[in-house]
Structure 1
Amino acid sequence: MLRRLISPLRWTDFITPSTLQLAPLLELLLEPMATAANLAELQLGLQEALVNAVRHGNGGDPRKCLRIRRILTPNWVIWQIQDEGCGVPACARTSVLPERSDACCGRGFFLIHHCFDDVRWSERGNRLQLAAQRQRHRA
């Protein structure tokens, strides 16, 4: 069950169980960017971040939740995705492709970094902040 908490301060919180059925959530999260020229790119990056949080952060455990906050400013749309895991080590938060093309992991962070204008991590590494400039992405 998805709960949506609306704040007058231009942010919306979403709390959802860990699931890979992400289409309805992605649609809600991307509402402010519905006319963006690169909507597909933003959707791909956001989906990758959510899948990582479900699979790696929460270990695919449906009893654990994801907390997502969408923040709207005049110039930015910001998504903060938090899982219940122990976090990604700082050394693994890279924006480069793995050296080996057949590596089993590492391409997701590269993809995320290339889909958004700004990517930041919490100190613990279990909260990822993604930001897209609004005017840059208008159709």
Structure 2
Amino acid sequence: MSFFQGKILLNFIIDLLNKPAINWSNFELNSSLQLNDFVDLLLEPLNTSQYSYNIKLGLHEALINAVTHGNKLDPNKSIRVRRIITPNWCVWQIQDQGNGLEIKKRLYKLPKKFTSFNGRGLYIINECFDDIRWSNKGNRLQLALKR
């Protein structure tokens, strides 16, 4: 190895060491409504005192939707969650094994009937995160929070 190549390699290693770390984690959960401990696990590496109850509520709502509407409460199905933490963002991707939510049903509005049992979840999720994105199929939801 020439001096020039060694210097490039050394600079590359120094650059890697000086870049902020990106933390990726993957989780799989059986389709169940026992979610409180799982939500705590998803928030574990973060300073939770820095994040409000809203983030916990938003994650819980997204997981409930994946279990009930995506997987139709089928205990043989699972939910896959990917957590990505960067210096500027916290991102959670929640994917169920369902057919996906149609674009026209991805509304972030409260239901018209106050007494309705359903329809508040997407509104709550939208209020809790800075950025929300759907996969084309509609069975994966990406929730992002600016740090």
Range of TM-score over shorter length: 0.7 to 0.9
Quick check: which one's helix share is greater?
2
Q: How does 1:6-45 map to 2 (within 5 A)?
A: 9-31=22-44, 32-38=46-52, 40-45=53-58
Give me the whole-angstrom Cα distance separating, in 2, the residues matched to 1:33 and 1:131: 16
Q: Is 2:98 the partner of 1:96? A: no
The CA deviation at 1:33 is: 4.3
The CA deviation at 1:97 is: 1.1
Give the count of matched residue pairs.
126
Classify the secondary structure of the residue corresponding to 2:84: strand
Moved over 6 A (4+): none
Identity across matched positions, percent: 49
Which structure 2 residue ranges, 5 or more long, are not aligned? 1-20
Q: How does 1:40-79 map to 2 (within 5 A)?
A: 40-79=53-92
Moved more, 21-30 or 62-71: 21-30
The CA deviation at 1:105 is: 2.1
Which structure 1 residue ranges, 5 or more long, are not aligned? 1-7, 135-139
Give me the whole-angstrom Cα distance separating, in 2, the residues matched to 1:96 and 1:109: 7
Match of 1:125 in 2: 138
CA RMSD of aligned residues (A): 1.4
> CA offsets per residue over residues 17-68 of structure 1, 9 Å max, x none?
1011112211110121412241x11011100100110011001011101000
CA contact (8 A) 2:108 2:123 kept: yes
The CA deviation at 1:102 is: 2.3
- Rg: which structure is higher? 2
CA contact (8 A) 2:22 2:87 kept: no
Give me the whole-angstrom Cα distance separating, in 2, the residues matched to 1:81 and 1:101: 28
Match of 2:93 in 1: 80
Classify the secondary structure of the residue corresponding to 1:105: coil
Give me the whole-angstrom Cα distance separating, in 1, the residues matched to 2:58 and 2:22: 25
TM-score normalised by structure 2 residue count:
0.81
The CA deviation at 1:10 is: 1.5
TM-score normalised by structure 1 residue count:
0.86
